[in-house]
Chain A
Amino acid sequence: MSEEKAIKPTENKNAASVKRMQSAADASQYQREWFKDVHKRVSEGEPFDFVNADVPMEILRAMDIPFLVNQWWASLCSAKQMSGDLFGLMKEEGYPDDICNYCSMGLAAALDPNHAEAAWGGMPKPTIAIARYACDSINKLFELYAQEYGIPFYPIENTVPINTPDNWWKEVHYNWNEFFEKHRLDFMVEELKGLIRFLEQTTGKMFSETKLREVMDLINQQEEYYQKARDLIAKTKPAPVGITDTVPSVMIPQWQRGTKWAVESAKKFYEEVKDAVDKGIAVCPNERARLMWIGRGLWFNLGFYQYFEKKYDAAFIWSMYLGIAADGYLRYGDDPLRALASRFCGMEEFLHMPPWNTDWFIKAARENDIDGVVYLVPDNCTNAVEGSYFIVKALEDAGIPVLMLRADPVNAKKWNPKTMTEAVEDFLENRLGIEPNPDEEE
């Protein structure tokens, strides 16, 4: 559940000095308007769903039911520096305040909705909560959340893949029906049918197959732009944009996928990348290293990445956010509900589990002509573990050097942008042999 998992704002002199792409700025703007509209619709009595990131929200989109994604809400609260207060509430109630912080922000806010008002007017009162049994905690968190609001909780089951076919990124767009194990797709489709009937029954809105198909088509159009942008970045040297540009542009439209706006946003993003290529704009005009970032991004500390661009001409050009948008979402075919089921059958494994993630990282590293990988290992969420040993081994065996950054489990204070920066500097200088730019040396 960590798609948007981000580190809390830190005090770093380098932070937030980033020029952002117009598509990113537009997305932020849109998101505000959209949230206002959600408030308005809810106040007029419309249903409103609170869902976890891995719930097939396309169903809600097709039914025109407004919804809020748990992890997006959490990122908003973190950005507003409200998490401390919210976790104080958790503690008062006897809940832990030091585990699953990102995923439990919704529950924390539910304990005192007034407290959460600072974040864009707070969370409107939901009418249903939906999550998948993706880890041992999330269903409990959603159940408790629903209980606080006195609304129903609808859990969706999750299955475990047994087969490990190769090259998933080549297979899942068209060949998904054969690629995923039949019993898993069948079960997921049943689960979705149950959800649809439940929503129809409780909201009085009828589900439209036609609308779902339209939503799926719009998503394909959107993700095709991401594919094109990804390909452009991969083959252009020096790279036109880095992950500090791409991630903010991609993340919000991904939450809004299935809308015409999201397609437009993706198109604009692609055009901006193309424009940069055409004009010869580059992250590092003297690019000396092309880097890949694996793991949770430091999106509140974008200056962290820029520091290495300046000091070493080292550009972070790949992260899973644009990568998975380009490779993970596309689904072509005639049965939109089954296609949707297949989108959610493999996403976690593709991102988080070897061999899927390791194969994919190697493919991406080769495509982008990556010189080195910086890998931030997730610390305390069992669900988001990625097989760190296997990732490092696979990449190193393929000749791609990896720096593994492990959060210090005992002493969080020891783990800060400074130690992280030093580790990356050491990696660049001693593993990749890159000298700092003379004028940038302290």
Chain B
Amino acid sequence: MNHSQGKAYEELAKIYNEKETAVKRWESNNQKIIGCIGYDVPIEILMAAGYFPVQITGDSKIKTPVADKYLEIAFDASVRAQFEKIVSGKYSYLDRIVISNSSDVLIRLYYYMRQMRRVEEELLPIPLYFFDIKFSQFRSSTLYNRERVQEFIEAVQCWTGKAILPDAMENAFNVCNENRKLLKQMQELRIADEPKVTGTEALTVIGASLYMPKEEHNKLMKKFLDEAQSAQTVKGTRIYVSGTAHEDTGFYELLEGCGVHIVGEDHDLGSRLFMGPEVSPAYPVESVTDFYQTRFPSIKKSHVRERVAAVVEQVKNTGAKGAIYFIRKSDDAASWDYPSLRKGLEAINVPVLLLDKQNYNLDNKEELQNKISEFITSISNQPGRE
């Protein structure tokens, strides 16, 4: 699909495509940089302490010889790639790495990296921190999480040797709230009757926020939202994408090439990143806990029932005619949800296409294209918005 946006989008796309190297643009800010693994690290707190948090993501195009040596076959390909990038020095500018308990394999990754620092520290000189957040929807877990958030604040203050002042906390929280608000506005443009933003563009814009200071992202976002008003209307069958997170736009472009308009998704590099309550500087520990524990259910950590309910609700909101459930190899947990999710969506007349056990590098594009086109044709007579 040929769809274009204005200058702000071009800027964002450049950053998104450069990923970790884009970070250098803000060198003059003299901020220490923290790498985050897992999408549940409370960045508000890092920002309040003056850090520049960036996300560590994988790369399906690289070879992973070191990961092959140190990690297991059972580890998800993206996690292997993240590890490879770290040990090969791609992130040598990082002051520290914070890993959140966002999936089982990330816990293992933490253990492995910790052990690596014990026995072969030269390969991994960057200090690690593990943020042990719980996702179960229970009060007892909230209390545990609050303690972990408090502990995290104390650790961060210890790293900088300075207390986080209330003003700084307030500022960071406001910036993050605004960022999420702007991304929500972008989402509105995506699902509008006359959509102005494609799925690829949304993925790009959301992803860019992970490799640049949020203040800068907010500025560009405002311009982007302005410019997008006058973009041409996006055409295509409205499809919701669920399942494994997409670290680049490859899959989205493939879908769009088949006449799809991707109206939403539930993965961490898409809408899940900004869906959730506001954080309040008046109750920093409590509201940060609530945001990370109670926002849109995580694919890995939620109960089936919670996730199905949340996705069905989203699909209704976005007016999708169909859904595509994409599961990458080794992303096993997601596949247990599938039968229930399919039932839930079929109950609202939204058919689902399952793309299971997909390779990280999407080396079966043609096969995927055929399946997707067939699916799109099969649902084209469905009622619903185009």
Contact of B303 among A139, A379, A385 (CB under 8 A): A139
Contact with A along B329-346 (1 / 0, CB 8 A): 010110111111010000
How far, in angstroms, from A383 to B335 measured CA to CA in the complex? Answer: 17
Report the separation of the CA atoms of residues A190 and B144 in the bound assembly, to the nearest whole angstrom: 10
Q: Which residue in chain B gives the minimum CB-CB distance to A92?
A: B339
Q: Among A156-164, A256-264, A299-307, which stretch is in contact with chain B?
A: A156-164
Q: Is B105 an interface residue (CB 8 A)?
A: yes
A388-B136 CB under 8 A given contacts A99-B332, A160-B101 = no
B253 at the interface (CB under 8 A from A): no
Picked from A140, A355, A406, the residue with its CB within 8 Å of the CB of B115 is: A355
Is the beta-carbon distance between B140 and A191 smaller than 8 angstroms?
yes
- Closest CB of chain A to B72's CB: distance in Å? 5
Contact A140 B333 (CB under 8 A): yes
Q: Identify B104's interface contact among A187, A382, A393, CB under 8 A.
A: A382
Given A377-B72, A387-B115, residue A160 in contact with residue B107 (CB < 8 A)? yes
Q: How far is the CA of A190 from the CA of B140 in the complex (A)?
A: 8
**In the bound complex, what is the Cα–Cα distance between A144 and B101 (angstroms)?**
23
B339→A141 contact, CB < 8 A: no
The CA of A100 and the CA of B333, in the complex, are separated in Å by 10
B residues 151-202 in Cβ contact with A at 8 Å: none
A380-407 Cβ-contact flags toward B at 8 Å (1 or 0) = 1111010111100110000000000010
Asked whether, in the complex, the Cβ of A388 is within 8 Å of the Cβ of B72, the reply is: yes
Bound-complex Cα distance A300 to B96 (A)? 47
**CB-nearest residue of chain A relative to B141?**
A157
Name which of A129-137, A222-230, A365-373 contacts chain B: A129-137
Cα–Cα, bound, A164→B72 (Å): 22
Instruction: Decide yes or no whether A113 CB sits under 8 A from chain B.
Output: no
Decide if A353 is an interface residue (CB 8 Å cutoff): yes
In the complex, which of the residues B76, B114, B336, B339 contacts A164, with contact meaning CB atoms closer than 8 Å? Answer: B114
Is A157 within 8 A of B339, CB to CB? no
Q: Is residue B130 within 8 Å, beta carbon to beta carbon, of the partner chain?
A: yes
A99's closest neighbor in chain B, by CB?
B332
A159 & B333 in contact (Cβ 8 Å cutoff): no
Interchain CB contact under 8 A, B303 and A140: yes
Q: Is the interface of B mostly helix, strand, loop or mixed?
A: helix
Q: How far is the CA of A134 from the CA of B304 in the complex (A)?
A: 16
Q: Quick one: which of A397-438 are within 8 Å of B by CB?
A: 406, 409
By a CB distance below 8 angstroms, the chain A residues around B108 are: 353, 382, 385
A-B contact count (CB 8 A): 116
Are B144 and A144 touching (Cβ within 8 A)? no
Please state if B101 and A389 are interface contacts (CB–CB under 8 Å).
Answer: no
Q: Which of B69, B107, B304, B339 contacts A143 (CB 8 A)?
A: B304
Interface extent on A, as a size class? 35 or more
- Please give the number of chain B residues whose Cβ is less than 8 angstroms from any Cβ of chain A in the complex: 46
Cross-interface CB contact of B132 among A160, A381, A394, cutoff 8 Å: A160
Could you tell me if B342 and A144 are in contact, using CB atoms closer than 8 angstroms? no
Across the interface, do A155 and B136 meet the contact criterion of CB distance under 8 Å?
yes
Q: Let me know if B339 and A354 touch, CB within 8 A.
A: no
> In the complex, how many angstroms separate the beta carbon of B230 from the nearest chain A beta carbon?
43
Given A157-B136, A183-B144, A353 and B111 contact (CB-CB distance below 8 Å): yes
Q: Would you call A95 and B335 a contact (CB within 8 A)?
A: yes
- Compute how far the CA of A136 lies from the CA of B75 in the bound complex, rounded to whole angstroms: 13
Query: Which of B103, B108, B300 has the largest count of A CB atoms less than 10 A from its CB?
Result: B108
- Interface assignment of B73: CB less than 8 Å from any CB of chain A: yes
Q: Are B332 and A137 in contact (CB under 8 A)?
A: yes
**A285 within 8 A of partner (CB):** no
CB atoms of B73 and A379 under 8 A apart: yes
Smallest beta-carbon distance A254→chain B, Å: 25
Task: Report the minimal beta-carbon distance from A202 to chain B, rounded to whole angstroms.
Answer: 17
| Given A94-B339, A353-B111, A381-B74: A136 touches B332 (CB 8 Å cut-off) | yes
Judge if B305 is at the interface, Cβ distance under 8 Å: yes
> Is there an interface contact between B104 and A406, defined as CB atoms closer than 8 Å?
no
A194 touches B304 (CB 8 A): no
Tell me if A93 counts as interface (CB < 8 A to partner B): yes
The 10 closest A-B CB pairs, nearest first, are: A136-B333, A94-B339, A140-B336, A136-B300, A354-B115, A385-B72, A135-B104, A136-B104, A160-B132, A96-B335
10 contacting pairs across A/B (C-beta < 8 A): A93-B339, A99-B335, A136-B333, A141-B336, A144-B304, A155-B303, A157-B134, A157-B138, A160-B101, A387-B112
Known: A136-B332, A140-B303, A349-B111. 17 other contacts (CB 8 A): A95-B335, A96-B332, A136-B105, A136-B301, A140-B336, A159-B132, A160-B101, A160-B110, A160-B132, A164-B114, A183-B144, A194-B140, A355-B115, A379-B74, A382-B75, A388-B72, A390-B115
